[in-house]
Amino acid sequence: MEVDCQNKSRDENRKDIVVILVGAPGSGKSTFCEDVMRTAHRPWVRICQDTIANGKAGTKSQCLKSAADALRNGKSVFIDRCNLEREQRSDFVKLGGPQVDVHAVVLDLPAKLCISRSVKRSGHEGNLQGGKAAAVVNRMLQKKELPKLGEGFSRITFCQNEGDVQNVVNTYSALGPSDTLPSGCFGQKNPDAKIQLGIMKFLKKVDAPDTVGPDVQTCVSKQDTSEKLPSQKETENVKLSSCKASEVTEGGDFPRKASDVPTLAFPSISTSDFQFNHEKASDIIVEKVKGFLDEVGNVRLVLVDLSHGSKILSLVRNKAAQKNIDSNKFFTVVGDITRLYTGAGLRCNVIANAANWRLKPGGGGVNAAIFSAAGPDLEIATKDRAGSISPGSAVVVPLPSTSPLYKREGVTHVIHVLGPNMNPQRPNCLGNDYIKGCKILSEAYSSLFEGFASIVRNQTKTVVSDKKFRSTSSELHENLLERSLTDHYNIDQKVKRGGNYGSESNKKCKGLREEPLVHMMSELDEKAILSVSTDTMEKEGLEHDKVGGNKVWGTWAQALYHIAMHPEKHKNDLIEISDDVVVLNDLYPKAQKHLLVLARLDGLDRLADVQKEHLSLLRTMHSVGIKWAKKFLSDDASLIFRLGYHSAPSMRQLHLHVISQDFNSIHLKNKKHWNSFNTAFFRDSVDVIEEIDEHGKATLNDERMLSMELRCHRCRSAHPNIPRLKSHISNCQANFPITLLQNDRLVIAPNGAVNEA
């Protein structure tokens, strides 16, 4: 939201400032504001959500309105909220404009200090004090997303201690009415530098000043799954006492920057609890690794084991050397697979888990360690993908950015793999049937590497397609690299039947599909293809899209494309057909009224493909959507509609959602369903048209927004689950957020009304 400054009687060169404070409870945000305002040389207004409603807690919408009013009156503004997540900051960033700079001051003080302050204080405006404060601070810090210039800030200042805070207080206190501050990031510390320094000091001790020999073992500390990022001193003292200098030799090296080469770290499948023969397993590992590396280019594979005397590592190293496998692309590591970066500076963006068939935490070894290190995010994300797994199969699970394993180690994906069992103490033992066992183990590694390849292909395409934009600014370059690491594609699960495993599946996995969905497509006619909605990909756990990558669409994802290209075959299921668009009801509507307006232009798969030349088509789609919304409003004037696109759709063919804002539907079942329509992941049609007209492309927002907490689309209150949220929204009469009340983003009846802030 840009503030109108034309009526201000002031120097045209003067700029007001919006300072968005970012920090946990107890970090000193309110004190910061008071200290600046006490001695300031320019007028400031503090906007605090805890007191916005006549001294009582209010809403984000009220804060936005008060901030906009203050700016119109020629005052600068402090936004005194936690603002720890990007979405929480986004609307306040939009307050900026030609005569308003938006700054962020990040009070990134130690968690212990924030907790201590919060617990001890009394009379707090938001009543966050005493024993309950510690849990709240911890919970909020887990969701912390540090701000970046790419969000729209002109200046970001980071404070890591009270001395930093005082310096920033002095800076803003000294600003005169017409003074400005230079743009950029200031005071940011680089935690990676501490880790790298510690690693380099260790390497010097073993006469390898710049590199670690990847063709032999790198020693890493034992199972330590704490979330704390180690300090320089702690990194230098990582438990390496049992490592000998001879275990780290000169030779090939792995790049210092983790993002340079996509890397998969994996344990030996089935050779631990499942007691698979080490000789036979090592033959299969080396065979599959060589075949994979011969086909795929710039990648690395790392075999990991916790034991220094690991027989499987020794066998694999020797056999890999005999096969002349490039030691820069494949090497072995002794250590904890969940601590490879913080323990030895080796960042692996993908790790494999030797899973159980239930895909659940528990047991021991690698499975327990990975689930523990990744936190509950991994279990939730895994459940979204699959309920179980068959031997020889793999399931790719993207890690949410909130996972400790993602934040601490840079792991963006976990691939669950299940191998054959040769242990008579475990279910479904194959006995001594190594013909079948070797076949299943070979399939397991094939599935694992296929999953990794799908991630690599997407990363490579994303980097290539975005390369031409990298030179525009260092900030954009950083964002593109970050995005390339987090983009993902899910591979079809290979559900196999037969033998003892088939009987186990029948006993314990009732309802599990026994045939891959892709194989069933040959049995479907055109009518069946139509029975796919935009959330079917999520329901079936198949291929899923991310912002910005070039996509190879899965079979089911082609359904809307076939409808748009051949509407004559689906006349009975479409409610409108024209030369430019077709309109149909979403098969799984997320509200009382939910339509899809499909573009009929071949090659226009999603919003990322839209350019200026498509403006006429976008306007046509919008007008068709408006027409249908008004038709529904003529029957029920209480409805309110919103028109928009998903930043990254699950299905091929550009489609516009026309959805009523009651969200009263039995098909709205999970967090992804809700957040796909109620976060910035959903792009309003009017905004898309404006952006394409002005910039030639639309802004696309990250799919990680789908895992954000559930918040009411009107009052923005948080709710723990969908039933509680639905109960709330059925009665909520709060104002819609200011952003939705502008620019005709909401469609209402001619005589209808929307609560306004």
Closest CA to 371 of 349, 354, 396, 395: 354
Do the strands 100-107 and 155-159 form a parallel or antiparallel pair, or are they unpaired?
Answer: parallel
* Helices 111-120 and 132-141: angle between axes, nearest 10 degrees: 150
DSSP 637: T
DSSP H or E segment with residue 16: strand 16-22
Query: Tokens for 48?
Result: 């605090």
Cα 206 from Cα 430, distance rounded (Å): 45
Q: CB pairs under 8 A, 24+ apart, for 569-574?
A: 569/526, 570/526, 570/530, 573/530
Going by C-beta distance under 8 Å and a sequence separation of 6 or more, which residues neighbour residue 561? Answer: 553, 605, 651, 652, 653
Pick the catalytic residue: 622, 655, 673, 713? 655
Q: Are 487 and 464 in contact (CB under 8 A)?
A: no
566 is catalytic: no
Cα 380 from Cα 360, distance rounded (Å): 10
Q: How many CB atoms lie within 10 A of CB 699?
A: 13
Residue with tokens 């063919």: 653
Q: Are 349 and 265 in contact (CB under 8 A)?
A: no
Cα 580 from Cα 601, distance rounded (Å): 7
Helix (H/G/I), strand (E/B), else coil: 671 = helix
Q: Are 556 and 517 in contact (CB under 8 A)?
A: yes
The amino acid that residue 493 corresponds to is Q
Closest CA to 391 of 452, 448, 444, 447: 444
Query: Tokens for 204?
Result: 């010097």
The amino acid that residue 283 corresponds to is D
- The radius of gyration of the chain from alpha carbons, rounded to an integer in Å, stands at 28
Reduced 3-state DSSP string for 74-143? CCEEEEECCCCCHHHHHHHHCCCECCEEEEEEEECCCHHHHHHHHHHCCCCCCCCCCCHHHHHHHHHHCC
Q: Are 493 and 389 in contact (CB under 8 A)?
A: yes
Do the strands 350-354 and 394-398 form a parallel or antiparallel pair, or are they unpaired?
Answer: unpaired
Closest CA to 329 of 364, 304, 292, 361: 292
CA-CA distances (angstroms) from residue 446 to 279, 370, 452, 456, 744? 18, 21, 10, 15, 52
User: 272-285: string of b/e by CB count within 10 Å (b at 16+)?
Assistant: bbbebbbeebbbbb
Residue with tokens 């849990």: 135
Closest CA to 514 of 352, 385, 393, 356: 393
Q: What is the set of active-site residues?
A: 655
